[in-house]
Structure 1
Amino acid sequence: MPTITTNDGVRLHCDDEGEGRPVLLVPGYGAGADDWALQWAPLRAAGHRVISLDPRWQGRSGRPAWGQRIARRGKDLDDLITALDLRGAVAVGQSMGASTVWAYVSLFGCGRLAGIVTVDQTPKMVNSPDWPYGFYGLTDGNLGTFFGTSDWFATGRGRSWPDPAELDAALKAAGGRGAGNLITPETLPLLLDHSRQDWRDTVARADVPVLITAGAESQFWPAEHAAATAALNPGADSTVFEGAGHTAHLDRPDAVSACLVAFVASL
């Protein structure tokens, strides 16, 4: 389990096993590397080196009193990729992890990447006349207060969230430490910064193959965001996982794993 230190002095942990093309898995808000445990075995069996990141303030990584913004997360990803000397990697981000990948690409380009996969993350969370695929109910008018309550994730849309006990058991059986989610008041500025971003121009400029995926029953936004996002880049494609919500990699782990394996094999 490598530990690297970012250029602002924060220790980041990751799981790193297997050989072959690196597949870098970045979890969403509050989740740790173990959130990807159900994808580890299929990716390793397909002959890939699988690296799962604990972002700062998540999992086993450091929790500094600074850096609660997506741009910093993008730099953290660069520090990890550089420290591990990853080349030809496939970056896979779920939810905020996808925004982390786009922040990295915006800052550093795709020179060390062979491909990008996002799992149920719209590139623009604020709804607008030209983008009706944002977070349900989120507009410029309520952006400042929308995430200030403890139940912002209870949209009343999509499928039910995974049962915590069942998910914990499944992740442990797959070799992870179980389910964990560290959402604290200290990370609210990160969530707000995340919600303000618009990555459409970054998606359009990515010069490696891109796959945008969505959960058909996402609790946060319409699944149509996947096709609309892929349409921004001629090198992008999209797919929708039926029977899956926002955490498609947990709701339909076999389907997501197979999709990732096929995408990497196509490069």
Structure 2
Amino acid sequence: MPRITTNDGVSLHYYDEGEGRPVLLVSGYGAPADDWALQWAPLRAAGYRVLSLDRRWAGQSDRPAWGQRMSRHGKDIDDLLTALDLREVLAVGQSMGANTIWAYVSLCGTDRLAGIATIDQSPKMVNTPDWPYGFYGLTDENLGTFFTTPEAFATGHGRPWPDPVELDAAIKAAGGLGAASLITPDTYPLLLDHSRQDWRDVVARAEVPVLITAGAQSQFWPAEHAAATAALNPKATSTVFEGAGHTAHVDQPDAVNERLLAFADSVRTGS
């Protein structure tokens, strides 16, 4: 079972299979690395080394009583890439996993990266006059209390969520252990910190190709966030997946895999 120990003493589990240029898959809030099982085989078959990280408090990684902030999660990515001496990495993040990558870039830059792809994550969660693409209903006025109850995630927008039994079966059929997320009050400080961040300046300064994607029927925010985010950086492009919600990589895995592979190949060839 591959593991690394972070510089604050936390043991993180990751999957590492395949050969070729590395692709790092970073899951969302509470989700295990197994959440990416529907991407593993297509990426490996295309000649990529596929790594999936269980972030702290997720999957098979440690659950310490510290580090519930985005900057620490970004540093965890740095610890992984440094420990394995990975370079020319395509970093792919879904939901909070995407902003974890931006936290890493904010701290460490893009020297170890070849490209960045995000799946349905607004770089700014709070809605403001200059950014109406945040989490539905989240404003500066209610920021401190908005995510204190599970009802916040029932926005009334978007497509129905995937059936958990069917999703778990699909993940297991693809080689994962299951799709169960671990969301507890212990991790609410991380969610609050996540909701307060604005990564637009980091996106704007990224020095590698960037792909911003959205689910057309996201439960959390308007799909227009993808084009608005891509407009911040001339190296960025955007894609909206029709028929997909926030978890586009499991709602429409074939479409997501095709787009990720096309982006990965363009990064590899420099086209």
* 1:151 Cα offset (Å): 1.9
* 1:203 Cα offset (Å): 0.1
Could you tell me the TM-score, scaled by structure 2's length? 0.98
Paired with 1:19 and 1:201, the residues of 2 have a C-alpha distance of 34
Counterpart residue number, 2:202: 202
Counterpart residue number, 2:265: 265
SS where residue 151 of structure 2 aligns?
coil
Paired with 2:190 and 2:21, the residues of 1 have a C-alpha distance of 31
Could you tell me the TM-score, scaled by structure 1's length? 0.99
Determine what percentage of the aligned residue pairs are the same residue: 79
Counterpart residue number, 2:167: 167
The answer on 1:52 being equivalent to 2:52 is: yes
Q: Report the count of equivalent residues.
A: 267
* 1:180 Cα offset (Å): 1.2
Counterpart residue number, 1:25: 25
Counterpart residue number, 1:215: 215
* 1:187 Cα offset (Å): 0.1
Paired with 1:40 and 1:216, the residues of 2 have a C-alpha distance of 24
After the TM superposition, which segments of 4 or more aligned residues of structure 1 sit over 3 Å from their partners?
Answer: none
Q: Describe the superposition over 1:10-66 as per-residue Cα deviations: whole angstroms up to 9, x where unpaired.
A: 000000000001000000001010000000000000000000000000000000000
SS where residue 49 of structure 2 aligns?
strand
Paired with 2:32 and 2:68, the residues of 1 have a C-alpha distance of 16
Counterpart residue number, 2:233: 233
* 1:157 Cα offset (Å): 0.3
Letter of the aligned partner of 1:19 in structure 2? Answer: E
Alignment of structure 1 residues 117-266 onto 2, 5 Å: 117-266=117-266
Paired with 1:17 and 1:172, the residues of 2 have a C-alpha distance of 17
Letter of the aligned partner of 1:66 in structure 2? Answer: W
Q: Describe the superposition over 1:68-116 as per-residue Cα deviations: whole angstroms up to 9, x where unpaired.
A: 0000000000000111111000000000000100000000000000000
The answer on 1:104 being equivalent to 2:104 is: yes
Q: Describe the superposition over 1:139-191 as per-residue Cα deviations: whole angstroms up to 9, x where unpaired.
A: 00000010011221100100000000100110000000011110000000000
Letter of the aligned partner of 2:210 in structure 1? Answer: V
Paired with 1:40 and 1:92, the residues of 2 have a C-alpha distance of 12
**What is the Cα-based RMSD across aligned positions, in Å?**
0.5
Paired with 1:178 and 1:149, the residues of 2 have a C-alpha distance of 25
SS where residue 71 of structure 2 aligns?
helix
* 1:243 Cα offset (Å): 0.1
Counterpart residue number, 2:38: 38
Letter of the aligned partner of 1:22 in structure 2? Answer: P
Counterpart residue number, 1:61: 61
SS where residue 152 of structure 1 aligns?
helix
Letter of the aligned partner of 1:254 in structure 2? Answer: D
Structure 1 residue runs of 5 or longer lacking an equivalent are none
* 1:2 Cα offset (Å): 1.3
Structure 2 residue runs of 5 or longer lacking an equivalent are none
